[in-house]
Amino acid sequence: MRKQIAAANWKMNCTLPEATRLIDGLVNEDIPVTGAREVVLAVPFPYLMLAAERTAKKQGFRIAAQNCYDRPSGAFTGEVSAPMLASVGVDYIIIGHSERREIFGEAPALLAAKTDACLEAGLDAIFCCGEPLEIRESGTQNAYVADQLTKSLFHLRAEQLGDIVIAYEPIWAIGTGKTASAAQAQEMQAYIRSVLAGQYGAAVAGQVTILYGGSVKASNAAEIFSQPDVDGGLVGGASLNLSEFTAIIKSLK
């Protein structure tokens, strides 16, 4: 079975006391994270060491950074490198979230370089892709997402794809309260798997974990996660609510 992941993307939220309460709450919950299941906490940079320390003895919990720079070190004030993140106990780095693409103008070539930096530091990447509303309405979402994958991932060798988790996030459903239907999520995630299969073969593509990200909440997680090509979710706002995120974790296959 492919790895099934409930990933919490806190974005730029929580003070230190709030972060501590939320992490400790998750650790103390009776959450069955066994077998192929994982819980990934993508917390802001100041709380990465806290999250790593508080979850160290909790089976199936992993820590993610929300971003990294593409260079290992140097005179880049304000940036954080993948080797730095690896040294404080990070397991994953989110690459190419739609907010990084849209607000900060991160282009495909930069995202390819960040992916390389992540893998070179021995970390796994959660690579985000997805279309805005105008692309969905024009019916060209498949070509749009395929282009994102091709330009930022297809320089990788087949064996490196095992260190990549794909997160499909329809931008029109992030923080809007709108959610792609379970059928829409499955349709796109099956398409993404077919694109990977075209480049790397069906056997390799079949092992890649593909998450859905777009207003996942306790009320819809089970239906979305039940789809054959949906391997969990990249969860935004609902991950800041202990009971909501606990229910989402329990909805994993």
pLDDT band, very low/low/confident/very high, at 2 (cuts 50, 70, 90): very high
Q: What confidence score (pLDDT) does residue 72 get?
A: 98
Domain ranges within the chain, ordered by starting residue: 4-250
User: Is the pLDDT reported for residue 167 higher than 90?
Assistant: yes
- pLDDT at residue 215 in the model: 86
Kindly report, residue by residue over 136-166, the tens digit of the pLDDT. Answer: 989 999 999 999 999 999 999 999 999 999 9
Residues 77-105 have pLDDT tens digits of 999 999 999 999 999 999 999 999 999 99
Query: For position 60, what pLDDT does the model report?
Result: 96
SS3 sequence of the chain: CCCEEEEEECCCCCCHHHHHHHHHHHHHCCCCCCCCEEEEEECCHHHHHHHHHHCCCCCCEEEEECCCECCCCCCCCCCCEHHHHHHCCCCEEEECCHHHHHHHCCCHHHHHHHHHHHHHCCCEEEEEECCCHHHHHHCCHHHHHHHHHHHHHCCCCHHHHHHEEEEECCHHHCCCCCCCCHHHHHHHHHHHHHHHHHHHCHHHHCCCCEEECCCCCHHHHHHHHCCCCCCEEEECHHHHCHHHHHHHHHCCC
Q: Which residue has the higher pLDDT, 1 or 39?
A: 39
Is 4-250 a CATH 3.20.20.70 domain?
yes
Please report the pLDDT score of residue 80 as a whole number: 98
Provide the pLDDT for residue 1. 86
Instruction: Give the confidence band of 195 by pLDDT, cuts at 50, 70, 90.
Output: very high
Q: Which residues are catalytic?
A: 97, 169
Out of 10-19, 39-48, 130-139, least confident range: 130-139
- Mean per-residue pLDDT over the chain, rounded: 96
The pLDDT of residue 174 is 75
- pLDDT by residue (tens digit) across 19-64? 999 999 999 998 878 889 999 999 999 999 999 999 999 999 999 9
Does 1 or 221 have the greater pLDDT score? 221
| The pLDDT value given to residue 58 | 93
pLDDT at residue 118 above 80?
Answer: yes
